[in-house]
Amino acid sequence: MERTLSIIKPDGVAKNVIGEVIRRFETSGIKIAAMKMIQLTKPQAQGFYAVHKQRPFFDSLTDFMTSGPIVVMILEGEDVIAQNRKLMGATNFKDAEEGTIRKDYATDIEKNVVHGSDAPETAAFEIGYFFNDLEIQQR
Ligand code: GDP
């Protein structure tokens, strides 16, 4: 069993697709082990995306991520990191496969509806960034 961090970004919340995104996870057999809605401060967004701090879009990305509420979830399942990335689609919605979340709902390379951890090490860091043990369902 594996865990990953998923975020419905401010554009996804604003487009009223929270339920649609969660439906895709649940119908794929993925379990939700923790969930909350929060609004990040700029320092919190900068800390989360620290790996991207040298990238030209870092300031724009962290502004966007603080622009409204987000839904943060821990997803659980077999191979869930890769499974979630497949459901999300490519970073740029123009390159995303048909039927993926980003293909269906993203409008911009930055405003791409969802985040998902890309490896076990990043998943562990990202889960710990948002949740403590008491907030995670132990099955
Ligand atoms: P992800 O793992 O698919 O989310 O992609 P990355 O880790 O490469 O990038 C993190 C986030 O930064 C993406 O989800 C986008 O929101 C944003 N992003 C990535 N590339 C660009 C870019 O070229 N321009 C802008 N403005 N944002 C980008």
Indicate which residue of 115, 116, 130, 131 is catalytic: 115
Tokens representing residue 78 in the block = 């077999």
Which of 110, 125, 118 has its CA nearest to residue 67?
Answer: 110
**Residue 44 amino acid letter:** Q
Please tell me the predicted confidence (pLDDT) of residue 139.
Answer: 78
Identify the pLDDT of residue 64.
98
Task: Choose one of 109, 111, 122 to mutate for the ligand 1 pocket test, by most ligand atoms within 8 angstroms of C-beta.
Answer: 109
pLDDT at 67: 98
Segment 97-110, tens digit of pLDDT: 999 999 999 999 99
Residue 1, burial from CB neighbour count under 10 angstroms (0-12, 13-18, 19+): exposed
Q: Express each pLDDT in 42-63 by its tens digit.
A: 999 999 999 999 999 999 999 9
Question: Does 118 sit in the ligand 1 pocket, CB within 6 Å?
Answer: yes
Nearest atom in ligand 1 to 60's CA: 26
Q: Which token pair is 18?
A: 């929270």
For the chain, 139 residues long, the average pLDDT of each consecutive 10-residue run is 98 98 98 98 98 98 98 98 98 98 97 98 98 94
| Active-site residue, 52 included | no
The whole-number pLDDT of residue 109 equals 97
